[in-house]
């Protein structure tokens, strides 16, 4: 499939907190040779339930099948897929810059301010800059800083996201299940 | 042991080894004397244990159990686990594992079982401590048998086998993240009924889901009320008796001619407990495009997986079929049903008659199967291996009783037949088990003749010997310019083999002797090997070449 026909989808997967689930979730992608673009795992607001936020380039048909296979796993509570317009999305970027070059070129700090990034640590050797935002902004800041030649290290986190919908599907599903179980 | 007892286990197929010795030691007491509650069947290879458990499960409807050791013991089971996953067969494989302190050290006979079995099992779990045992065993059986059934793997660390605790029975019948029986949606049933009520040419496709849901009579009531002809998948063959007037034959690549063509002509297609395998649909781009598709399945992930549906009813068919039946009108589709007849007739004349009543030449597989089916009791169970033997056997056997077929459908596992037949004899000791194999598959799990000998399993083995891996040879002839690459086989003297195991044996080479030989096989107590000398280069017909449109099915090569 050509990249142009693909779209970036975000999967939100909720599972019980037991060993081995991540393997099962990623295996659904591997089997179809779909690359995972980013992955974030953390505890969710529901006690004992973990939340996976996964992004992947694919088409809807394929993503639907992957979600179906993931949700089928015994300890997976819910799996859904979304496009960007259905979600509030954030990622974060960390930039380790050479302090001397930051001091020598005032454009560097101006760029950091312009992007709304914050400086969280400064010592004589390096300066750590952090930025929250959307993928493009974080990458764009990296490119800008990199052009000054001051970047020692750069890393971008996986996406985290919450839905724009009014319903909290997972907690409602679990309440319903506990009531009938 | 008590956890297994609590799950109603009666028969265990297994093979001991180092990491499972504590369990085997306990089993010693539970298989004899006053504590006896299990039969343990010692197989000859762990793969055989899983297929036997599958055969047992398929015929009995209960969960089949295999007990093996760690490392190679359980890697030998992987084929059977994958097979059970593809064919929705409820089995629980309990395997030893090194003590948890030794995990990850490449200890003797250590393998990352949970890691390797996860993609091919419904659930895979490591029991690390004795207090987990009761919960894990109960959860394993609950998962294996409920919803869409499947294989469960328990990886039983040796320390957990020897730790002593007070037995604290636990019963799992609820898992909050697992919905085995989705709630029937009334709206979907209503929509489906509307489609069926307006249909002029409805066609039902019946799969194994009907047998797994034990909804055979609900199916008949549904079909009969709206007068809907029904094709069955290979695994669903005994969901509807073969002599039922609405039975339209077998679906798929080597199924019946009329029903394959009619899939491209029907206006409403009702798929019930089947998964639109590529062996059924052929080319998906052209498959049943003219029809509205209704899909009944218990597994939501099957909906729209291969064929896009117009209405999906995700529920147990035991519940959804009666709900649908109550909303559909009584109908008569005589004209539509009659339109199958000329095609059936054509197939009978061009394919079936020459296959089952040949006038001359060596024996044919179709004729052997047909002759066995004629003499076997009505409730006989068909077990097949994989290949031409399977396609001929499934085409020409009879299915008058529910749960009458064991065959490896999805995975297509050669070597499945003999051990599955062993399992079938334990599930239904009063029924005749006919196991058709080719000379290839017979040799793939031939070691299980030892199990048959020891247990005196009354398996009627029909070895259809054509000195070829016949199905691959057929494809080589049809699609690979007759280049028969490694499909011709030199065979051992099966009579000597039968003699070595003390199993009754007879060879048939002449047509005139076939009926008497089959009679002899069926009336002899205990196991029997009937070797039939088959025409070397016979082809299974009709056939839809792989990936082709189902209505391009060929009646002749």
- Break chain B into its structural domains and give their ranges: 2-162, 186-341, 362-533
DSSP state of B348: I
Bridge partners, B532 (sequence order): B464, B508
User: Given its phi and psi angles, is residue B73 left (phi above 0), alpha (psi -120 to 50 degrees) or beta?
Assistant: alpha
Q: Which fold has domain A3-82?
A: Alpha-Beta Plaits (3.30.70)
pLDDT category at A4 given cuts 50, 70, 90 is low
pLDDT category at B10 given cuts 50, 70, 90 is very high
Read off the pLDDT of residues A19-48 as tens digits, 9 standing for 90 and up.
889 999 999 999 999 999 999 999 999 999
Chain A: give the shortest CA distance to residue B366, in Å. Answer: 38
A93: enclosing H helix or E strand: strand A87-98
Read off the pLDDT of residues B153-195 as tens digits, 9 standing for 90 and up.
999 999 999 999 998 899 999 999 999 999 999 999 999 999 9
B contacts of A17 (beta carbons < 8 Å): none
CATH 3.60.21.10 is the classification of domain B362-533: no
**ipTM at complex level:** 0.90
**Would you say the CATH fold of B362-533 matches that of B2-162?**
yes
- How many whole angstroms separate alpha carbon A152 and alpha carbon A155? 11
User: Could you tell me the strand order of the sheet in which B311-314 lies?
Assistant: B247-250, B230-232, B202-206, B268-272, B292-297, B311-314
A contacts of B115 (beta carbons < 8 Å): 23
Residue B534 · residue B474 · CB < 8 Å = no
A contacts of B177 (beta carbons < 8 Å): 15-16, 74-77
Q: Scanning the structure block, which residue is given the tokens 């079929």?
A: B321
Identify the pLDDT of residue A54: 97
Contacts A–B by Cβ distance under 8 A: 43
Identify the pLDDT of residue B195: 98
Q: What angle do CA A160, A165, A168 make, to 5 degrees?
A: 80
Bridge partners, B64 (sequence order): B91
Bridge partners, B508 (sequence order): B532
Cα–Cα nearest to B390, from B424, B359, B420:
B420
Identify the pLDDT of residue B159: 96
- In B, minimum Cα distance to A71 occurs at B301
Chain B: give the shortest CA distance to residue A163, in Å. Answer: 21
CB hemisphere CA count around B18 (13 angstroms): 10
B300 touches chain A (CB under 8 A): yes
Whether the per-residue pLDDT at A180 is higher than 80: the answer is no
Identify the pLDDT of residue B2: 82
- How many whole angstroms separate alpha carbon B551 and alpha carbon B462? 33
B contacts of A27 (beta carbons < 8 Å): 118-119
3-state helix, strand, coil in chain A (%, to 5): 40, 40, 25
Q: Do B143 and A74 touch (CB under 8 A)?
A: yes
- How many whole angstroms separate alpha carbon A21 and alpha carbon B279? 32
Q: Do A74 and B179 touch (CB under 8 A)?
A: no
Read off the pLDDT of residues A124-165 as tens digits, 9 standing for 90 and up.
999 999 999 999 999 999 999 999 999 999 999 999 999 998
Q: Which fold has domain A89-156?
A: Alpha-Beta Plaits (3.30.70)
Cα–Cα nearest to B436, from B420, B450, B448, B453:
B420
Angle between helices B365-375 and B511-523 (to 10 degrees): 40
- In B, minimum Cα distance to A26 occurs at B119
The architecture in CATH of the region B186-341 reads: 3-Layer(aba) Sandwich (3.40)
**Alpha carbon distances (Å) from A159 to A39, A115, A119:** 7, 19, 21
Q: Do B177 and A69 touch (CB under 8 A)?
A: no
Read off the pLDDT of residues B275-333 as tens digits, 9 standing for 90 and up.
999 999 999 999 999 999 999 999 999 999 999 999 999 999 999 999 999 999 999 99
Domain assignments of chain A as residue spans, ordered by start? 3-82, 89-156
B contacts of A69 (beta carbons < 8 Å): 301
**Would you say the CATH fold of A89-156 matches that of A3-82?**
yes
Q: Scanning the structure block, which residue is given the tokens 């596992």?
A: B413
Identify the pLDDT of residue B98: 97
CB hemisphere CA count around B67 (13 angstroms): 26
The chain-wide mean pLDDT, for chain B, equals: 97
Cα–Cα nearest to B534, from B361, B395, B362:
B362
Portion of chain B with pLDDT greater than 90, in percent: 97
pLDDT category at B14 given cuts 50, 70, 90 is very high
Q: What is the average per-residue pLDDT within B496-509?
A: 98
Q: Do A74 and B176 touch (CB under 8 A)?
A: no
- In B, minimum Cα distance to A176 occurs at B176
Tell me which of A74 and B168 has the higher pLDDT: A74
The architecture in CATH of the region B2-162 reads: 3-Layer(aba) Sandwich (3.40)
Residue B286 backbone dihedrals phi, psi, to 5 degrees? -115, 0
Identify the pLDDT of residue A3: 56
pLDDT category at A166 given cuts 50, 70, 90 is confident
- How many whole angstroms separate alpha carbon B273 and alpha carbon B216? 11
Alpha helix positions (H), chain A: 21-31, 60-71, 99-104, 106-114, 135-147, 169-180
- How many whole angstroms separate alpha carbon A135 and alpha carbon A91? 6
Q: What is the average per-residue pLDDT within B230-236?
A: 98
Residue B306 · residue B292 · CB < 8 Å = no
Q: What angle do CA B491, B496, B501 make, to 5 degrees?
A: 115
Portion of chain B with pLDDT greater than 70, in percent: 100
Q: What is the average per-residue pLDDT within B134-148?
A: 97
Token pair in block for residue B137: 């065993």
Read off the pLDDT of residues A9-20 as tens digits, 9 standing for 90 and up.
999 999 999 988
Residues on chain A bordering chain B, Cβ-to-Cβ distance under 8 angstroms: 15-16, 20, 23-24, 27, 31, 64-65, 68-69, 71-72, 74-77, 174, 177-178, 181
Chain B: give the shortest CA distance to residue A44, in Å. Answer: 15
| B residues 132..151 contacting A (CB < 8 A) | 143
Chain A: give the shortest CA distance to residue B118, in Å. Answer: 7
Q: What is the average per-residue pLDDT within B29-54?
A: 96
């Amino acid at each position: 499939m050509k990249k142009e026909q693909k779209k970036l989808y975000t999967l939100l997967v909720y599972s019980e907190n037991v060993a081995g689930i991540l393997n099962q979730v990623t295996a659904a992608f591997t089997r179809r040779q779909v690359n995972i673009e980013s992955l974030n795992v953390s505890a969710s607001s529901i006690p004992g339930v973990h939340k996976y936020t996964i992004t992947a380039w694919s088409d809807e048909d394929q993503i639907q099948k992957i979600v179906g296979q993931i949700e089928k796993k015994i300890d997976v509570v819910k799996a859904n897929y979304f496009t960007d317009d259905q979600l509030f999305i954030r990622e974060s970027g960390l930039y380790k810059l050479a302090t001397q070059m930051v001091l020598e070129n005032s454009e560097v700090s101006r760029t950091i301010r312009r992007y709304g990034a914050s400086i969280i640590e400064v010592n004589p050797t390096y300066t750590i800059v952090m930025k929250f935002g959307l993928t493009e902004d974080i990458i764009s800041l990296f490119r800008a800083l990199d052009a000054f030649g001051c970047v020692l290290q750069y890393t971008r986190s996986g996406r985290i996201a919450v839905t724009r919908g009014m319903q909290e599907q997972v907690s409602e599903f679990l309440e319903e299940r506990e009531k009938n179980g | 042991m008590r956890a297994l007892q609590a799950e109603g286990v009666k028969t265990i197929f297994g093979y001991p080894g180092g990491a499972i010795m504590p369990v085997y030691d306990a089993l010693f007491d539970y298989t004899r004397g006053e504590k006896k509650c299990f039969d343990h069947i010692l197989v000859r290879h762990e793969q055989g244990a899983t297929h036997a458990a599958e055969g047992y499960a398929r015929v009995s409807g209960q969960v089949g159990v295999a007990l093996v050791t760690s490392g190679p013991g359980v890697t030998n089971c992987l084929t059977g686990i994958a097979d059970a996953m593809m064919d929705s067969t409820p089995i629980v494989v309990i395997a030893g594992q090194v003590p948890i302190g030794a995990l990850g050290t490449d200890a003797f006979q250590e393998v990352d079982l949970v890691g390797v079995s996860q993609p091919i099992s419904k659930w895979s779990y490591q029991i690390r401590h004795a207090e987990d045992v009761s919960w894990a065993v109960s959860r394993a059986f609950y998962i294996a048998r409920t919803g869409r059934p499947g294989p469960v793997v328990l990886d039983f660390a040796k320390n957990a086998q020897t730790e002593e605790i007070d037995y604290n029975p636990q019963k799992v019948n609820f898992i909050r993240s697992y919905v085995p029986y989705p709630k029937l949606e009334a709206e979907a049933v209503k929509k489906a009924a509307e489609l069926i009520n307006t249909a002029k040419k409805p066609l039902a496709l019946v799969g194994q889901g009907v047998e797994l849901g034990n909804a055979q009579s609900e199916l008949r009531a549904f079909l009969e009320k709206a007068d809907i002809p029904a094709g069955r998948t290979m695994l669903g063959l005994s969901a509807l008796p073969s002599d039922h007037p609405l039975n339209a034959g077998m679906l798929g690549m080597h199924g019946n001619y009329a029903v394959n063509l009619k899939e491209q002509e029907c206006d409403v297609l009702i798929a019930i407990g089947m998964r639109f395998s590529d062996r059924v649909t052929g080319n998906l781009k052209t498959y049943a495009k003219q029809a509205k598709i209704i899909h009944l399945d218990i597994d939501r992930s099957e909906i729209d997986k291969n064929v896009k549906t117009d209405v999906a009813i995700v529920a147990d068919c035991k519940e959804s079929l009666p709900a649908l039946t109550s909303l559909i009108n009584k109908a008569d589709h005589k004209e539509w049903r009659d339109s199958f007849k000329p095609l059936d007739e054509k197939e009978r004349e061009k394919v079936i008659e020459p296959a089952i009543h040949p006038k001359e030449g060596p024996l044919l597989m179709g004729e052997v199967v047909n002759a066995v089916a004629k003499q076997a009791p009505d409730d006989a169970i068909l077990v097949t291996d994989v290949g031409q033997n399977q396609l001929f056997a499934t085409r020409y056997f009879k299915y008058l009783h529910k749960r009458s077929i064991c065959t490896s459908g999805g995975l297509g596992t050669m070597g499945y037949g003999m051990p599955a037949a062993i399992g079938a004899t334990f599930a239904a000791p009063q029924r005749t088990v006919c196991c058709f194999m080719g000379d290839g598959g017979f040799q793939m799990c031939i070691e299980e003749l030892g199990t048959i000998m020891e247990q005196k399993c009354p398996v009627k083995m029909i070895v259809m010997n054509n000195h070829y891996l016949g199905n691959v040879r057929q494809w080589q002839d049809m699609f690979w310019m007759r280049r028969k690459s490694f499909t011709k086989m030199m065979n051992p003297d099966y009579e000597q083999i039968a003699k070595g195991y003390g199993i009754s044996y007879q060879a048939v080479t002449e047509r005139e002797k076939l009926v008497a030989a089959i009679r002899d096989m069926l009336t002899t107590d205990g196991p029997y090997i009937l070797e039939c000398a088959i025409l070397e280069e016979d082809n299974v017909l009709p056939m839809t070449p792989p990936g082709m449109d189902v209505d391009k099915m060929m009646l002749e090569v």
